Structure 1
Amino acid sequence: MYQYLAATYDESSFSPLHFGLPIVTCQSSEKLVTLNNKDIHDVPICHPVALLPSGQRKTLQNGPMKRNRFKCEALICKRCRCDVERGYKLSSEGDDAHCVQQCPITKYISSDCLKSESPELC
């Protein structure tokens, strides 16, 4: 984890700790992003991934990944966000999403489903 002060300051004057500014702790898969008013930071969201009986992973959706966008509505915003430059993305669209480099398996396909006449029911 990395810790950052939640505001910038001039080291020659006052310590931000004198003002009770919070310390922001980011996970190792995140970085602290500083945005100005109306700036947007977006992070890709993983496509659903299935695990086939052979052990092979298969992406279930084509095209560009959806994006999670954060728009700064304050004068300055500081947020921990997935470190996209290092290849991290959000694991899902849900509230419990976390930053991952490899998208998680969201569906398991049995060999019976592969043999089925109507695999869409599996």
Structure 2
Amino acid sequence: MFKSTLTIVSASLMLAFASVAPAHAAVDADAAQALFKKNDCTKCHSVDKTKKGPSLKKIAAKYKGKADGQEKVIKNITTGPKVKLDDGSEEEHKIIDSKDPAALKNVADWILSQ
């Protein structure tokens, strides 16, 4: 009886620890970069240089430590809001061509990891 109870408790603990996995899976950088390039995001953004739009490092710094950073990046790339450019002009942000929530989260996490 003691042995079966110990086995059940051990299995329960293992299950509990398995469910405490990180909320964000590892970023698939290759897939994120492919989606980024496919949607011509590189026309306005680069990893470390300001082009027509801010660098990815600048975007990542803006949202660093903010719980809603991923959500805000996804909203920006999926809803086409008006964005103010460094030259003071405004234009609608291009909408990324993907409806896959996992792909959108991956590209947002990749941007935020810069």
Under a length normalisation based on structure 2, what TM-score does the superposition of the two structures give? 0.26
More strand by share: 1
Return the structure number with greater helix share.
2
* Superposition TM-score, scaled by structure 1 size: 0.25
